[in-house]
Amino acid sequence: MPRPASPRRKLSMLLASTALFAGYSGMDIQTASAAEPSAAPAATAPAGDNPLLAKWTGPFEGVPPWDKMDPELFPDAFTQAMAEVKAEVQAVIDNPEAATFDNSFVPMMLAGDTMDRLYALWGVQTSNKSTARVEELDAEWSPKLSSFYTELFLDPGLFARYKAVYDKRHDSGLDAQQIRIVERSYDEMVRDGANLSAADKAKLVAMNAELEGLFSAFSSKLLADEKRYTFVADEAELAGLEPAFVASLADAAAAQGKPGQWAIKNTRSSAQPVLQNATNRTLREKVWRAFVDRGDNGDANDTNQAIAAILKLRQARAELLGFRTHADYRMADTMAKTPANAMALMMKVWPAAVARVHEEVADMQAIADADAKAGKGQKITIEPWDYRYYAEKVRKAKYDLDESEVKPYLQLDKLVDAMFWSAGRLYDLGFRENTGAVPVFDPKVRTFEVYNLKTDANVGLLYLDNFARDGKRSGAWMTTYRSQQTLGGTRNVLASNNNNFTEGAKGVPTLVSLDDASTLFHEFGHGIHYLLQQVTYPWLANVPRDFVEYPSQVNENWLLTPEILSKFATHYRTGEPMPQALVDKILASQKFNQGFETVEYLASAIVDMKLHDRTTPVADIDAFERDTLAEIGMPKEIVMRHRLPQFGHLFSSDAYSAGYYSYLWSETMDADTWAAFTEAGGPWDRKVADRFRTILLMTGNETDRAEAYRTFRGRDPDVKALLVRRGFPTE
C-alpha cells in the first residue's frame, strides 16, 4: 500500500492533510478546545542552520540528506516549516486582487515545499527508523501539526477566495483540468468543515488533534508487540522449516543476545513460514497465538481502548461535518461513492469464498485423518494454526507441488531483477543500480537510477528497503519522497518500496515465499504508477482510495508469467532455472487455496465497513469483531487477515478506514484488465500496455477514474473476471 501523500500535495484537503502525522497528545476535547494548538512550541535545537530544512542537493535534482537525520532536529524544523507554510497561505488570503485560479490555486499548489521535504524525512524516521525518542516526538508533534493544518485551512478568508473562483469557474476561461481542481477543492473544503461556525471549527480542530494522538498511541503499541520474539531452544522443534530460514532465525536470536537459540519475530514474514512448514503443531499454535493476539493481550500494549476512542471521535466528527457515519464521510470522494455499493461488491464474492473454504477444510481434514490412521500423529480437528500447514499437504497431493520445493528458486535479488525487466518490457523503464552513490537511511537500502530505455532521460530514483528490523513498522508500503509535477518546473520522482522480508543468513541469498514475491511485485506496481505519472498540477495526482491499489494489483500478475519464472527463478545453489515441470505445477495451482485467501481478506474488509457504517460507535472491540464474524458466517478455521486490535490500515491514520474494501474494488478492475491482456494475445502485448499506461497510469486523477477505465476497456469492469480468476462460480 502507499503511505499517505505529503502535506504540500494535500494543502487543499483539510482532513487528509492533518491525518498525515500520527501522535498521541493525551488531551481530551475540552482541553484541546481551550488550548492554542497551532502555537509552535519552543524549538529544542538551534534555529538557523537546521540541515533538515535545507534544499536537497546532489544528483537527481537533489536527494534527501538521510545522513543528517537526527530526531532532535525535528522540533525546530517543524516550527520553521510551519511558519513558512503559514506565511505562504496568508499571502494568498491577503492578496488584494480579486481571486483567480492563477493567484489563488496556483500558489497554494506550490506552497509548502520545505514541509514536503521535511515530511519525507519524518516519514522514514517514524516508519523505517523509529526509536523510543521518535515515538515521544511523534506523540508531542502530531496533535500540534494536526491542529495547525486544520486551523489553517478552515480560515474563512481562504475559503472565500476558493468560493469566488468556484462561482465564476465556467466564465473565466479555465480549461477542464483547472475546473476539476476548482470544483474538487471547493467540495473538499465544504465537506471538511469550511461552512461550520467558529465554535464548531474549534471542535473540529480538537477532534483532529485528539485523533492524531490516538493514531500514534495505537501505532506505538502495535510496534512494541511486533518487536517481540518467540524463542526456541531446541532445534528439533523447527523440523520442516527451510534450512536457510532456520539459519536466519539463529542470526536473529544471536542479535537478541541469545546465541544458540532461534528467534521468530512477531511479524507476518517470520510467522508465516512457521505456520506453513513447521511439523511441530505446538510451535505453530504458539507462533500463531502471538501473531494474531498483537495488541490484544490486556497489557500496556493493548490497543482496544485506543480503538474505541478513535471510533467515538470519528463518528462525532462525521456528524459535526453533516454525515450520517464515518463511512459516509470517508467514501464521499471514492469510486464506490457509498458504503452500500462497497458492501454489494463484497457480498457478491463472500458466499462463494466461504463455500470454497469449507471444501478446502474438508480436503485438509481428510489428510489429517489419514495421517492419524497411519500412525503419523494424533487425531486432530483443523484449527487456524493448522490451515497453512495442511494446505501445503493438499497442494502437494493435488498438484504435486510443495512450497519448499519452490522457495529455493525465489531469490529476492533475482526477483528484483525480474520486476525491473518486466517494467522495461512493458513501459520502457530502465533501472541502473547506484547503491553507494547517494545517502541512504540504512546500510542495507539499495538505490537505483530510473531512466527511459528509449531516450535515456532520467525519470528519478528508487530506494529499496527490503528487510525487517527493530523500529520498522510491519507490512509493506510504497511512498514517494518527491513526486512528479510540471507546475513550477519539472520534477523527477524519488520513490521507495519498503518490505519486511527476513534476511538470509550470512553468505546465503534471501529466499522468499510466493506470497512474499507477490508482495514485492505489488509494491513495485505502486512505484511504477508514480514513476510513470505525467501531470501538470499536483492536486490532480492523488487518485481515489479505491483506485490506489489497482495499478499495484495489476502488476502482481506478471510474477507468474512463464517468461519471468523461466528467466529469473533460478536455484540459489545450482543456478539452474526452475524446471518447466515445476513452472507448470505453479501455473496449474493458481486457483489453489483461493477460499482461504479471499475469506481472510474479505472478513477484514467487511468488518471494517460494518464498524464504520453505523451511528453508534463500538465500545467493546473484541465482542464486535466476534459477533460480526459470526453474523456473516466466518469459518472457524480462519481469522481475519488483520484483526481489529492490530489493524494498522484502520487505526494508524484515517487512510484506509472504511476503505479496506478498496483492494477488492481495485482487484475487480485488475482482473478485468488482465483479461484485456489475455484477449489481446498475452501479458506482454504492447498495445494494451501502452493504453494502460497512457490512459490510466500516467494521468493521475486528471479525469474521473471510472470514466478513464471505461475509455481503456470500453465498458465498466466486469466482476466475473475476478470470480473466474479465483475459481468461483460466476452465476
Q: Is 326 exposed, middle or buried (0-12, 13-18, 19+ CB in 10 A)?
A: buried
Phi/psi of residue 5, nearest 5 degrees: -70, 170
Q: Which residues are catalytic?
A: 523
Cα–Cα distance for residue pair 110/113, rounded to 1 Å: 7
Distance CA 381, CA 360 (A): 13
Question: To the nearest 10°, the Cα dihedral for 308, 312, 315, 320?
Answer: -160
3-class SS at 549? helix
CA distances from 515 to 269, 371, 379, 605, 731 (A): 10, 27, 30, 20, 29
- Sorted by sequence, the CB contacts under 8 Å of residue 454 that are 6+ apart come out as 428
Separation of alpha carbons 256 and 245, rounded Å: 17
Burial code of 629-659, b = ≥16 C-beta within 10 A, e = fewer? beebebbebbbbbbbbbbbbbbbbbbbbbbb
85-113 as b/e: b if 16+ CB within 10 A:
bbebbeebbeeeeebbbebbbbebbbbbb
Please state, in angstroms and rounded to a whole number, the distance separating the CA atoms of residues 20 and 655.
Answer: 9
**Residues ≥6 apart with Cβ < 8 Å to 70:** none
Residue 265 and residue 303: Cα distance in Å, rounded?
20
Sequence-ordered list of residues with C-beta below 8 angstroms from that of 419, at least 6 positions apart, any chain: 520, 521, 524, 555, 558
User: Which of 481, 327, 333 is closest to 5 using CA atoms?
Assistant: 481
Alpha-carbon gap, residue 173 to 323, rounded angstroms: 34
Q: Give the SS3 label for residue 174.
A: coil
